[in-house]
Homo-oligomer: A and B are copies of this chain.
Amino acid sequence: MQKVFEWQTSGPGLYEVTREVDAWVTGDGLLTLFVQHTSCSLMIQENADPEVRTDLAAFFHRLVPPTTDPSMSYLTHTYEGPDDMPAHIKAALLPTSLQIPVAGGRMALGTWQGIYLFEHRDAPHVRRVIGHLA
Contact = CB atoms under 8 A, between A and B. Distances in A.
B36 A113 contact: yes
Interface in A33-60: 34-38, 43-46, 49, 51-52, 54-56, 58-60
In the assembly, how many copies of this chain are there? 3
B58 A74 contact: yes
Contacts of A64: 59
5 contacts: A34-B99, A38-B113, A45-B91, A55-B76, A93-B93
Given A36-B113, A45-B88, A45-B92, 13 more contacts: A32-B101, A34-B108, A35-B110, A37-B110, A52-B85, A55-B75, A56-B92, A59-B75, A62-B74, A95-B96, A96-B98, A97-B100, A134-B134
